Amino acid sequence: MSQPTASAATPSSAAAFDLECRDITKNFDQFTAVNNVSFNVPTGTFFSILGPSGCGKTTLLRMIAGFQTPTSGDLLIKGKSMIGVPPNKRPVSMVFQHLALFPMMDIAANVGFGLRQRGVPREDIAKRVETVLERVGLPGVGSRHINQLSGGQKQRVAIARCMVLEPDVLLLDEPLGALDLKLREHMKIELKKLQSEFGTTFVYITHDQSEALVMSDQIAVMNHGQFEQVGAARELYHEPKTAFVAGFVGEANSFTAKVEAINGDAATLVSPEGLQIKGQDASGNLKQGDQAKVFVRPESIRLATQANELDNVENLNQGIIENILFNGANSHILLREEKSGGELNVAIPQTGQFRDLAKGDKVYIGWEAAQTRCYQTEG
């Protein structure tokens, strides 16, 4: 209880962040859902928390909204501690997973619900509701029932219902999960646009990495109740700090191997099948004899029909094409590496050079050590 007063005394340092979490922990009986998580969300940014189901991201979001109380730690919004503040008194609004639009009211009553609770005069409510509906691109739908809207329109009504209250932080709990693929792609762009238009801080939780990568300014990758890494999308993709992040964000081929030699950052590893791999020590603590997990992205692997077409690659191998997964610009081949017998997923460059590849073809594959990231594994 001493922390809130301490933070209140220094409001200038806190004002830069709309949301601050300090050592938040949440225990349920024997289970720790959120374990000592700290992060700051700068004003007006799109912050995503990305993690597999059961990683504690929903619990974290519900603590920010006020539906759950942290076991320990402090939570500040615009520099004010929110511990002990009930959800209806917090300057945050939440877009629920299934939107939670009120079926017993029309759209105007849904959007105006929060304003009514604040005792805003009736004429003002009508005006502000219409304005916010226009801003989300749904002018004049106020008198309709929510069942008369499409999935994407409902989404926008749910956002309008929160934004009309001008919250400091808008929380979004996987709101795109229920939409079909095409609409989801569309809504990703829409959400990002709405966020920059309103200039409100968004905290978005999802298990879908592409949602997080496309929309966010900052992403926190969460696993087992802890943040593995916080950073911009590019950082997470190209320089994942942990094996979990490397495997969870984006696609990657992964192998286990034993460290044979280490020289600064450069590591030489040998897989159990005897394949030599040259890579980069990404965790920074690899020692000779360690077991390591090695990640190579499909697009980092270069293809060639002649060995001499692949120069400057530290890892050069041969493989036989087992399957071609054609998916337009995002096509891949699955091939079996000759020496180790391991399966590799390789992206096909879209230059037309490899259009004629067929099942059973033998190709050369090569990748650079700098794009081969190795992480220490326990045991």
Q: List residues near another protein by CB under 8 A.
A: 65-67, 86-89, 92-94, 96-98, 100, 102-105, 113-114, 116-118, 161-162, 165
C-alpha distances in angstroms, 216 versus 32, 97, 164, 178, 320?
27, 18, 22, 20, 39
Q: How far is the CB of 99 from another protein (least distance, A)?
A: 8
Q: How far is the CB of 87 from another protein (least distance, A)?
A: 5
In angstroms, the Cα distances linking 132 to 106, 165, 177, 235 are 15, 10, 24, 35
d(CA 290, CA 316): 23
Question: Please, which residues have CB within 8 angstroms of residue 59's CB and are 6 or more apart in sequence?
Answer: 26, 33, 34, 68
Q: The tokens 């969460």 sit on which residue?
A: 222
35: helix, coil or strand?
strand
Which candidate, 351, 349, 324, places its Cα nearest to that of 335? 324
Nearer to another protein, 107 or 363 (CB): 107
Please, what is the minimum distance in Å from the beta carbon of residue 227 to another protein? 25
| Nearest CB to another protein, comparing residues 86 and 289 | 86
Q: How far is the CB of 208 from another protein (least distance, A)?
A: 20
Nearest CA-CA partner of 236 in 244, 226, 251, 246: 246
Q: Which is nearer to another protein, 107 or 286 (CB)?
A: 107
H helix intervals, the chain: 2-9, 11-14, 57-65, 107-117, 122-135, 151-163, 181-198, 209-215, 233-238, 243-248
Specify whether the CB–CB gap between 274 and 285 falls below 8 A: no
Min CB(324)–another protein separation in Å: 44
Closest CB to another protein among residues 119, 264: 119
Residue 7 CA to residue 20 CA, distance in Å, equals 11
Distance between CA atoms of 66 and 64, rounded to whole angstroms? 5
Q: Which is nearer to another protein, 69 or 288 (CB)?
A: 69
Nearest to 236, CA basis, from 227, 247, 223, 245:
245
Q: Which residues contact residue 57 at a Cβ distance below 8 angstroms, ignoring those fewer than 6 apart?
A: 49, 50, 51, 205, 207, 222
CA angle 294, 54, 240 (to 5 degrees): 30
For the bound state, the minimum distance from the C-beta of residue 114 to another protein, rounded and expressed in Å, comes to: 4
Query: 66 vs 366, which CB is nearer to another protein?
Result: 66
Q: Which is nearer to another protein, 67 or 326 (CB)?
A: 67
CA-CA distance, 317 to 253, in Å (whole number)? 15
Residue 116 vs 186, nearer CB to another protein: 116
Q: Cβ 374 to another protein, closest distance in Å?
A: 43
In terms of CB distance, is 161 or 241 closer to another protein? 161
Q: How far is the CB of 165 from another protein (least distance, A)?
A: 7
Least Å distance, CB 245 to another protein, is: 30
Please say which residue, 65 or 243, places its beta carbon nearer to another protein. Answer: 65
Nearest to 369, CA basis, from 290, 270, 265: 265
**Rounded least distance, CB 96 to another protein, Å:** 5
**Angle CA(257)–CA(292)–CA(311) in degrees, nearest 5?**
60
Q: How far is 372 from 254, CA to CA, in rounded Å?
A: 10
